[in-house]
Amino acid sequence: MTLTASTVSAGARTSVRSRRRRAVRAWPAYAAIAPFFILFLCFGLYPTLYSLVLSFQKWNGLGSPEWVGLDNYVRLANDDTFWLSVRNTFVIFALSTIPMMIIALVVAAMLNNAVRYSTALRIAYFVPNITSVVAMAILFGAIFGESFGLANALLNAVGLPDVSWLNSPFGIQLTISILITYQWTGYNAIIFLAGMQSIDSEVYEAAKVDGAGPVRSFFSITLPLLRPTMIFVLIVSTITGLQSFTEAQVLTGGPSTTNPNSGGVGQGGLTMVLYFYQQAFSHNKFGYGASIAWGIFLIILVFVIISWRYSVKREDPTR
């Protein structure tokens, strides 16, 4: 009887004593998983529970916290700036996720047909994703600058007027969306590509025999069979997109703004997490900040559950 007990059926030995003996004998396994759980208890579970307590308190970090019951949540529900940040976040999310999914699908379909230079091409498409958001946001700030940026120079070159990218709320949202799309399209294309390559080529053969062209095959075979991958990409994009912070913070945090975490002109770049950060760490409102964090968590949770339900319900029941 050794530790390599994966072959031993657990159901055969359910008596408490043998369970305990097995647990004692398995001490190295418990020791191996202990570091993760110790760290999680200290830096994951404990702070999360503590933040729940904090959200019922008023505290600026100094002195002693004051219990205020549900006041923070009532205030949050009536906080226009918070709802503005929710709106901003969803606008940015829609403006970035929709083009990103479409372009990524097209790129993946093309890569799927490209035999030569495939590694170089994949690296080129992937590399924006590994570069720091801070560096890219600074660069995009220069490209989308008002009077001397490359974006406006290109628009002028084809006879279009300047766009005030970073000097209007919608311009800021658009710039942030372009940055997010830029950084995540290649990543998602690579994942779509892997999904496409796991589709059995015999399915395509059969379709070809039935007279389906490449476009028809894409819509009738690739897209339906890619659904699980698309759900994965959508859920991941939702969770990361609704928590976007760095893009907005760096793009709108220049010295021209008096308050660096306010989201720029008209607070157009004030995302939910940026508002949380501003309240918690610029204004030291720890209690209110904690309630914002829980508000954000609930919004993301509801949104993920809805999109999950929606996509799973429409999935093939045989899967």
Partner 1 sequence: MSILASPRPVTPGRIARPAPSLMSRRRRRFGLYLMLTSGALLSVFPFYWLLVIASNTTSDIYKSPPKLLPGSHLFENIAAVFDKIDFIAPLANTLVVALSVTFLVLFFDSLAAFAFAKFDFPGRDALFTAVLVTFMLPMQLAIIPQFITMVNLGWVGNLQALIIPAAANAFGIFWLRQYIKSAVPDELMDACTLDGGGFFRQYVTVCLPLIRPGLGFLGLFTFISTWNDYLWPLTILTDPHRITLQVALAQLQAAFAQDYGMIMAGALLATVPLLVVFLFGARQFIGDIAKGAIR
- The neighbouring-strand residues paired with 303 are none
Which segment (91-99, 106-114, 162-170, 305-313) binds partner 1 by CB under 8 A?
Answer: 106-114
Closest separation in Å from C-beta 162 to partner 1:
11
Phi, psi of 78 (to 5 degrees): -105, 10
d(CA 187, CA 122): 9
Per CB under 8 A, does 12 bind partner 1?
no
Per CB under 8 A, does 191 bind partner 1?
yes
Q: How many residues bind partner 1 (CB under 8 A)?
A: 116
Per CB under 8 A, does 161 bind partner 1?
no
Per CB under 8 A, does 36 bind partner 1?
yes
- Cβ-based nearer residue to partner 1, 35 or 69: 35
User: Are 203 and 221 a contacting pair, CB within 8 Å?
Assistant: yes
Q: Where are the alpha helices (DSSP H) in 7-149?
A: 16-25, 27-40, 46-54, 71-77, 80-113, 118-130, 133-143
**Six token digits for residue 121:** 């091409």
Which segment (72-80, 91-99, 253-261, 305-313) binds partner 1 by CB under 8 A?
Answer: 253-261
Instruction: Compute the chain's Rg from CA coordinates.
Output: 25
* Widest Cα–Cα separation across the chain: 83
d(CA 38, CA 103): 43
d(CA 217, CA 204): 7
Per CB under 8 A, does 23 bind partner 1?
yes
Which segment (74-82, 88-96, 168-176, 274-282) binds partner 1 by CB under 8 A?
Answer: 274-282
Cβ within 8 Å of residue 6, ≥6 positions away: none
Per CB under 8 A, does 153 bind partner 1?
yes
Residue with tokens 């990524």: 104
Which segment (73-81, 94-102, 115-123, 169-177) binds partner 1 by CB under 8 A?
Answer: 115-123
Per CB under 8 A, does 107 bind partner 1?
yes
**Six token digits for residue 122:** 């994949």
Per CB under 8 A, does 119 bind partner 1?
yes
Give the residue among 276, 286, 284, 301 at the shortest CA–CA distance from 51.
Answer: 286
- Cβ-based nearer residue to partner 1, 165 or 286: 286
Cβ within 8 Å of residue 273, ≥6 positions away: 243, 244, 245, 296
Site for partner 1 in 77-96 (CB under 8 A): none
Per CB under 8 A, does 299 bind partner 1?
no
Applying CB under 8 A, among 198, 200, 216, 315 the residue interacting with partner 1 is: 198
Per CB under 8 A, does 111 bind partner 1?
yes
- Cβ-based nearer residue to partner 1, 57 or 173: 57
Site mask, partner 1, residues 222-241, x = CB under 8 A?
-------x--xx-----x--
